[in-house]
């Protein structure tokens, strides 16, 4: 989270999402974090691929990080991260908004993975 706050502090809230994506990539790299970027995750229906999602980042094979530049989060943004978590079979997602005056974020848990580990 500190990296995301640093990027927002440095850049402010006036840029397009693609520029924050590039800055976060460089910041993750500088911090020595293992991450994957722009990962295609298959959307399945009855064992058949029917589409794909593109996740912004998966960090340390554990956390989905989805970047936004919106006035405020919408339910669809949260649903999007939940779907990413379900398809990637990960437990934690962080939805981050760089458009706000101060960085805003929401931690999103995948209830299906949480139940499996209980």
Q: Are 101 and 73 in contact (CB under 8 A)?
A: no
Is 98:8 a contact under the CB 8 Å cutoff? yes
Q: Which domains does the chain have, with CATH numbers?
A: 2-117 (3.90.320.10)
pTM: 0.88
**pLDDT grade, residue 111 (50/70/90)?**
confident
Which residue pairs from 79-84 have beta carbons closer than 8 angstroms and sit at least 24 positions apart in sequence?
80/53, 81/108, 82/108, 82/110, 83/43, 83/53, 84/41, 84/53, 84/55
Which carries the bigger pLDDT value, residue 90 or residue 45? Answer: 90
pLDDT digits (tens, 9 = 90+) for 43-85: 778 888 888 888 899 999 999 999 999 999 999 899 889 988 9
34/60 Cα distance (integer angstroms) = 5
């Amino acid at each position: 989270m500190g990296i995301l706050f640093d990027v927002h502090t440095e850049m402010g809230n006036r840029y397009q999402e693609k520029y924050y994506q590039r800055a976060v990539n460089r910041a993750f790299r500088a911090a020595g974090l293992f991450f994957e970027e722009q990962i295609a995750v298959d959307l399945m229906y009855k064992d058949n691929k029917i589409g794909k999602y593109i996740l912004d980042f998966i960090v340390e094979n554990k956390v989905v990080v989805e970047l936004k530049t919106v006035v405020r989060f919408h339910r669809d943004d949260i649903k999007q991260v939940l779907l990413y978590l379900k398809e990637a079979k990960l437990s934690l997602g962080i939805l981050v908004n760089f458009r706000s005056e101060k960085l805003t974020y929401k931690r999103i848990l995948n209830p299906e993975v949480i139940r499996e580990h209980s």
